[in-house]
Amino acid sequence: MNSEIDKNTSKDLGVTPPPRGRGWGRGLFPGSFDPFTLGHADIVRRALGLFDEVVIAVGYNEQKAGWMPVAERVAAIKRLYADEPRVAVESYTGLTVDFAKEQGITAIVRGVRTSADFEYELQMADVNRQLSGIETVFLPASPQYASLSSSLVRELAHFGHDISPFLP
């Protein structure tokens, strides 16, 4: 991973919005975001160039406690986008497509880092489209973040490593 990572994502998003009237409506970016990394922020920034609005949806499983409490994950992401009115942050449990329908979503956005991600995402996208008619848009991970994952960040934290270089 490139350590010269761009931390501008939080303050100056550097986004060119879609041309007026040409945006794709509301995109839903679902994930665990445990924690939300620079890789996630990069996908949000790029999705804001396609969609009029992006809903970041923190999915959780009532049976499984995460690393960070869901409310903290939501609060941290909200702080990050406090100045970006085109971003909303929500939490949900259950099927992503049910939540997507509730939210009036045009399409689901997912980041793809590896061929393994792609295999898994293809299946999910296919099932989600069959269930709801909602399409999934894949954005390829930017090379500098392609090896970055929340699980890697959790592992580094577990061993007392400074994780701040990976977080927006």
Which residues are catalytically annotated?
40, 64, 113, 150
Interior/surface letters 30-46, b for 16+ CB within 10 angstroms, e for the rest: bbbbbbbbbbbbbbbbb
Q: Does 111 bind ligand ADP (CB under 6 A)?
A: yes
Nearest Cα to 168, choosing from 79, 88, 83?
79
**Of 51, 92, 99, 145, the one binding ligand ADP by CB under 6 A:** 145
Q: Does 107 bind ligand ADP (CB under 6 A)?
A: no
CB 31 to ligand ADP: min, Å: 3
Q: Does 149 bind ligand ADP (CB under 6 A)?
A: yes
CB 121 to ligand ADP: min, Å: 7
Q: Does 27 bind ligand ADP (CB under 6 A)?
A: no
Looking at the DSSP bridge assignments, the partners of residue 59 are 92
Q: Does 99 bind ligand ADP (CB under 6 A)?
A: no
**Of 97, 141, 153, 168, the one binding ligand ADP by CB under 6 A:** 141
- 45-to-5, 81, 153, 161 alpha-carbon distances in Å: 15, 10, 21, 27
- Single-letter code of the amino acid located at 110: R
Which range binds ligand ADP by CB under 6 A, 4-12, 48-56, 97-105, 108-116?
Answer: 108-116
- Single-letter code of the amino acid located at 70: V
Q: Does 128 bind ligand ADP (CB under 6 A)?
A: no
Tell me whether strands 53-60 and 26-31 are parallel, antiparallel or unpaired.
parallel
Residue with tokens 């580094």: 156
Residues that bind ligand ADP (CB under 6 A): 31-33, 37, 39-40, 43, 110-111, 113, 117, 141, 145, 148-150
